A and B are shown apart, each in its own frame.
Chain A
Amino acid sequence: MTNPASSSSAQAVLITGGAGSVGRQLVEMFIEAGRAVRVFDLPMMDFTGLEGQDGIEIVKGDITDADGVRAAVEGVDAVLHLAAILPPNSERDRDLTFRVNVDGTKNIITALEQSAPDTRMVFTSSISTYGDTSGEEPPVRVGHSQSAIDIYADSKIEGEKLIFESSLTNTVSLRIAGILVPAFLEPPTPWPFMEDQRVEMVHRDDVADALFASASAPDAGGKIFHVAGGPTWQQHGRDYVKDFFEVMGAPVEMAVYRDTPGWMDWYDTEESQRILGYQNRSYQHYIGEMQAIIQEMMEG
């Protein structure tokens, strides 16, 4: 179902995985900024609130279908490629994860190479591609070697390789840190880090800000950026977990950590912050949001 954008389709931004949580945030941000948006997502997704809205065109399809992807990139001037299978689902079926995360990325690259190789393409990668860096001096820099410790990271390394080897001239790869969602949600078991491991996560809305800026920031083309929370988010696993359990009112003794290092660390975000300007929410801001959520639930 489509609702032709009110502005020129040449100004449209394609968001793959656009009906998901971050995708929806981005749709709203682009519409507010006067940009038309084409949302590409699986037909089974819930498009409520997107369908029939001015400036939003819905394309229901599968990222693994090359023909569908070719049609979806037609006439857009930026592609934000969010569609992917994320952990923990990504760890259940390597073939499926690679089909979606790698072959799907290849379909977008091929379609752009054939039609408009200078289109801005933003690829969502992950800081998990570095693997275990806990024995090294922080921060981790973009030039650090990559070494996957799970299927998801492996698929993202392959995706980055495809972009690097392509003839596209205007790509941006974002290696995104663990995303914290300000909501009453369960803790992971185990936490994906050791108790004394360095961790730097990022607020979900800062990730949306980084993606939004990446679509048009003139100095971002051809670059790889870290997207992580910044100095106020750099701490150790036990510090964050203690805060989390305190806010929830649950005993911290319940927390279960990894017994080997996970992929979290502290990251060099100087360049990404300078060019994308996305670190707009401090760790204290996040904790304040969580406290307000819990307070509201206690009063409600």
Chain B
Amino acid sequence: MPPSGQEMLEQSISKCQQIADGLGAQNSDWETSVVEIVDKFDEVSGTFFFQTMPSIPPTRTAMRAADAALNHKNSGDWGSFEPALTDLISSAQDVIEAAGMKGTTLT
């Protein structure tokens, strides 16, 4: 069975925490950005959205972006890290926006 949106969100949080760990020594703005992503992901974690099928595409994209950024960090490839971080921020924003479901289906 493929992972749910919630499982992929949790993996994304874990990867972002690893990215943030010690990142300030390289660039404090980068660290702040990644910590913000972790905080926002924590806020929406467990909501109904991440149990639904439509949560899978954006969360998978964010998880892959986190994976790429983490790989670049671990290999010390800072030239590739910066655009990977930009991708991660953008895909994280998509997830946060999508998770903000407004209204209920029954009124």
Contacts and interface: CB of A to CB of B under 8 A. Distances in A.
Contacts of A185: 101-105
21 contacts: A178-B107, A179-B107, A181-B107, A183-B103, A184-B52, A185-B102, A185-B103, A185-B105, A186-B48, A187-B105, A188-B106, A201-B106, A248-B51, A249-B54, A250-B53, A254-B48, A294-B54, A297-B54, A297-B57, A298-B53, A298-B57
B6 to A, nearest CB: 10
A180 interface: yes
Nearest to A181: B105
Interface residues of A, number: 25
Given A179-B107, A181-B107, A251 B102 contact: no
A187 B106 CA distance: 7
Contacts of A298: 53-54, 56-57
B105 A180 contact: yes
Contacts of B106: 178-181, 187-188, 191-192, 201
B51 A244 contact: no
Nearest to B102: A185
A248 B53 contact: yes
B107 A248 contact: no
Contacts of A249: 51-54
A192 B106 CA distance: 9
Given A185-B101, A250-B51, 19 more contacts: A178-B107, A180-B106, A183-B103, A184-B54, A186-B48, A186-B103, A187-B48, A188-B105, A201-B106, A248-B51, A248-B52, A249-B53, A250-B52, A251-B51, A254-B48, A254-B51, A294-B52, A294-B54, A297-B53
B105 A244 contact: yes
A292 interface: no
Contacts of B52: 184, 248-250, 294
